[in-house]
């Protein structure tokens, strides 16, 4: 806007608080609203004394907030007013809501001028807050958008077992045809995990052929015989293991007989054959017989310290009622001179076709001092 003559100047105009003359005093403190004020200079103020405007610099001088008249004032004189012009080049205090952004120098306002909590979401530009402006450990799960944490934001090897949802004891995690995780239901004791083919998860199923199921364990101590029962039609064959059998009488063989209906069969219906190999010279020996027992050690075993007999017996189709019953065995043991013999043999029970329910193990004479005997069903 153009002006005729000099453009008006805007200052910070203030009227000082009224001052009372003190007799014989020239210096007075200037205040506005009881707060000391300092004029821009002696020329930036208007002073009236006794109704007469005073000349700056000669009628009065200033030092800080103190005005000193050129003479001591006396009782009855009046300081009418002191009018401060401020700096006539300053804007003074603008009216409320009159300063626009265009009137503020760029980068001139810092955080000390912000009212606490005055910066709200509306005054933040999008994507302007980066990680360096966020305190460590300051963001918790309540601030996450549901489903916002994807695999790209999880580092490798960071998901521990403790972070997995709980499941059922014995379940195994696999994947279904869609590639999604799935829990494989816990199987029964003795079952094995098998493939069910493409397009479906694996499953626990009964073991295929050749699996051994423990049926019983007997620890023998100073017994004349060791009866092993529990054979029935559940399994087509049964395996009997003999560990560390120790005999009471030195130089005695091990005998085996069948049990039918709870009774040990003693008739002469036990044809058998044995083949052994001696550890001293490697010589092989053969033996056959037909008696009231199967001889499952070709040689007589010793009972010196550390000497023992261990072996396996397989009973084939003991519940078969249309055929004779076959049996096979193999063993290793010490004979009376300390030599080790290994033995492979087999036999047949050829008296009728009644189901066999067990076997009886004994020495040719004397007791079995100790042994551990186990019965397994073989599928």
Class of domain 212-378: mainly beta
The span from the CA of 227 to the CA of 236, in Å, is 20
The whole-number pLDDT of residue 230 equals 95
User: What confidence tens digit (pLDDT) does each residue in 89-136 have?
Assistant: 555 567 778 788 888 888 888 878 888 888 888 888 888 888 888 888
Tell me the average pLDDT across 19-26.
Answer: 95
| Residue with the larger pLDDT of the pair 141 and 378 | 378
- Length of the chain equals 379
pLDDT class of 149 with cuts at 50, 70, 90: confident
Specify which residues 314 forms β-bridges with.
239, 328
Helix (H, G, I), strand (E, B) or coil at 122: helix
Rg (CA), the chain: 57
List residues bridging with 81 in a β-sheet: 48
Residue-level pLDDT at 182:
84
Q: Could you give the CA distance from residue 2 to residue 172 in angstroms, rounded to a whole number?
A: 90
Residues 6+ apart with CB under 8 A from 68: 26, 27, 28, 60, 61, 62
pLDDT in tens, 191-224: 788 887 787 788 887 766 668 999 999 999 999 9
For residue 319, what pLDDT is reported? 95
- Rounded distance between C-alpha atoms, residue 117 and residue 112, angstroms: 12
Given a cut of 80, whether residue 249 has pLDDT beyond it is yes
DSSP code at position 56: B
**Residue 286 and residue 343: Cα distance in Å, rounded?**
10
What is the C-alpha to C-alpha distance for residues 274 and 331, in angstroms, rounded to an integer?
A: 11
């200079």: which residue's tokens?
41
87, pLDDT greater than 80: no
**Residues 45-65, mean pLDDT to the nearest whole number:** 96
pLDDT in tens, 326-341: 999 999 999 887 789 9
Q: List the one residue out of 309, 369, 374 whose CA is nearest residue 342.
A: 309
Q: Is the pLDDT of residue 37 over 90?
A: yes
Q: CA-based angle 107:112:117, to the nearest 5?
A: 105
> The sheet that has 45-49: what strands, in order across it?
14-15, 79-84, 45-49, 52-53
**Average pLDDT of every residue of the chain:** 88
> Which DSSP string do the residues of 226-278 spell out, in sequence order?
EEEE---TT-SEEEEEEEEEEESSSSB-EEEEEEETTEE--SS-EEEEEEEEE
Q: Residue 252: its pLDDT value, please?
A: 93
* Contacts (Cβ under 8 Å, ≥6 apart) of 238: 215, 231, 314, 315, 318, 375, 376, 377, 378
CB 311 within 8 A of CB 332: yes
The region of weakest confidence among 100-109, 186-195, 301-310 is 186-195
Q: Is the pLDDT of residue 187 over 60?
A: yes
Residue 137: count of CB within 10 angstroms of its CB: 6
CA–CA separation, 28 vs 180, rounded Å?
A: 90
How far from 29 is each of 15, 19, 198, 332, CA to CA, in Å? 13, 8, 100, 124
Q: How many CA atoms lie within 13 A of 4 on its CB side?
A: 0
Top pLDDT among 133 and 22 is at 22
Which pLDDT band holds residue 50 (cuts at 50, 70, 90)? very high
Query: What average pLDDT does range 273-284 have in this prediction?
Result: 77
The more confidently predicted of residues 72 and 170 is 72
Average pLDDT on 57-72 reads 96
- The answer to whether 293 and 330 have CB atoms below 8 angstroms apart is no
Residue 293: per-residue pLDDT: 95
Q: Which SS3 state, helix, strand or coil, does residue 50 take?
A: coil
Whole-number Å distance between alpha carbons of 88 and 11: 4
Question: Would you list the domain boundaries of the chain?
Answer: 14-84, 212-378
Residue 3: is its pLDDT beyond 70? no
Strands (E), 88-211: 172-175, 181-184, 192-194, 203-205
């Amino acid at each position: 806007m153009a002006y005729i003559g000099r453009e008006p100047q805007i200052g910070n105009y203030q009227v000082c608080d009224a001052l009372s003359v003190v007799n014989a005093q020239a210096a007075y403190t200037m205040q506005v609203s009881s707060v000391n004020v300092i004029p821009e200079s002696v020329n930036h103020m208007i002073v009236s004394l006794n109704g007469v405007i005073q000349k700056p610099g000669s009628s009065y001088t200033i030092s800080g907030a103190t005005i000193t008249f050129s003479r001591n004032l006396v009782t009855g004189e009046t300081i009418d007013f002191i009018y401060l012009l401020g700096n006539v080049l300053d804007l003074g205090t603008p009216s409320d809501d009159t300063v626009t952004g265009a009137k503020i120098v760029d980068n001139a306002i810092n955080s000390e001028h912000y009212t606490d909590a005055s910066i709200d979401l509306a005054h933040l530009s999008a994507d302007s807050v980066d990680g360096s402006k966020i305190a460590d450990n300051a963001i918790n799960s309540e601030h996450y958008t549901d489903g916002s944490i994807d695999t790209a934001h999880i580092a490798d090897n960071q998901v521990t077992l403790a972070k997995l949802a709980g499941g059922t004891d014995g379940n195994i995690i696999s994947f279904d045809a869609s590639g999604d995780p799935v829990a494989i239901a816990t199987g029964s004791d003795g079952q094995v995990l098998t493939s069910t083919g493409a397009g479906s998860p694996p499953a626990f199923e009964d073991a295929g052929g050749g699996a051994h199921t423990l049926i019983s364990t007997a620890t023998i101590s100073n017994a004349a015989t060791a009866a092993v029962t529990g054979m029935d039609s559940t399994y087509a064959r049964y395996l009997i293991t003999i560990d560390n059998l120790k005999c009471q009488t030195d130089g005695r063989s091990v005998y085996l007989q069948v049990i039918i209906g709870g009774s040990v069969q003693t008739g002469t219906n036990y044809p058998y054959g044995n083949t052994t190999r001696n550890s001293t010279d490697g010589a092989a020996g053969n033996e056959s017989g037909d008696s009231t027992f199967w001889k499952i050690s070709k040689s007589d075993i010793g009972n010196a310290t550390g000497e023992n007999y261990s072996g396996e017996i397989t009973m084939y189709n003991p519940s078969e009622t249309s055929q004779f019953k076959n049996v096979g065995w193999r063993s290793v043991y010490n004979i009376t001179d300390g030599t080790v013999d290994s033995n492979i043999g087999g036999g047949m029970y050829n008296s009728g076709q009644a189901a066999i329910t067990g076997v009886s193990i004994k020495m040719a004479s004397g007791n079995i001092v100790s042994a551990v005997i186990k019965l397994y069903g073989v599928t």
